Amino acid sequence: MKKIAIFAKVHDPRCVGIAEELIEWLVAKGLSPMVESHLAKHVGSAYSAERQDIQEEADLVVVLGGDGTLISVARLVGDRQVPILGVNLGSLGFLTEITLAEMYPALERCLKGDYEVSGRMMLRVSLHREGEEIEGHQVLNDVVINKGALARIIDLETEVDGRYLSTFKADGLIISTPTGSTGYSLSANGPIVHPQLDCLLMTPICPHTLTNRPIVVAGDALISITLQSVNEDVFLTLDGQVGFELKHGDQICIQRAEHQTRLVQSRSKDYFEVLRTKLKWGER
């Protein structure tokens, strides 16, 4: 590994300060930092790199911040399956599980090739309008279709592998990866699914029919959702970060992406420990 990309929450002074120290550490090691351009402006670094260059050239990505920052980076480098080392600088994250104290030892191991990664499923999402694909994206956590604040319940005709499942009458529908099961899906009473399972989750948001419950389908399933509602404000949101307004008749197709996100694992904690700590299980 020679080219090490760095992303951080630029509005967090602590993240910026740690990024400055990390850049110096990498240079002293004879490595080539690739500092994301917005971060480079905040740290005054000469090693600024555009996102496109990072996407094409980085050997390792270090993310300083929280899960939201890491999720955006995963969408950027997922196609190349570049290892991502997520360093948590706030409350414990589900994805950024490396602590600041662990960062440099973990980096040393990565440089020596002595590290383990957790492969996380990503989703390929395409938006079709009048028979034409107008948007195509990859996501790590979830795809959400939901109504605007003043809109009525929406109708979402849903098929799995070409077979009709149901027309959900609800405030919306969440399709998530196992990684995303601890996100918005969980708040909508979806199940927690271990990230190594090969499956997709479908969780209705406040369904009009109380018997519409979350459903888990095979990881290689093709989910197709057609918006049947007319004259309602409905939106498609990807990982809670990218959004599009939908129109009557729009079709959203969701399936497992070809590549995975590869997260460098902590050696001091496992997934179940993260769950216990984050969700405060066992506390009174």
Q: Would you please indicate which residues are annotated as catalytic (active-site) residues?
A: 67
- Given strand 234-238, what is the order of strands in its sheet? 215-218, 199-205, 172-176, 142-147, 234-238, 242-246
Amino acid at 97: E
* CA–CA separation, 88 and 188 (whole Å): 26
* CA–CA separation, 145 and 185 (whole Å): 12
- Phi then psi for residue 200, to 5 deg, are -125, 145
Neighbour-count burial for 173-201, b at 16+ CB within 10 Å, e otherwise: bbbbbbbbbbbbbbebebeebebeeebbb
Pair 63, 69: CB distance under 8 Å: yes
Long-range contacts, stretch 134-140, CB < 8 angstroms, 24+ apart: 135/244, 137/75, 137/238, 137/242, 138/75, 138/78, 138/79, 138/257, 138/259, 139/75, 139/177, 139/238, 139/239, 140/71, 140/74, 140/75, 140/78, 140/177, 140/179, 140/180, 140/239, 140/261
Pair 175, 131: CB distance under 8 Å: no
Pair 93, 64: CB distance under 8 Å: no
- Phi then psi for residue 256, to 5 deg, are -65, 135
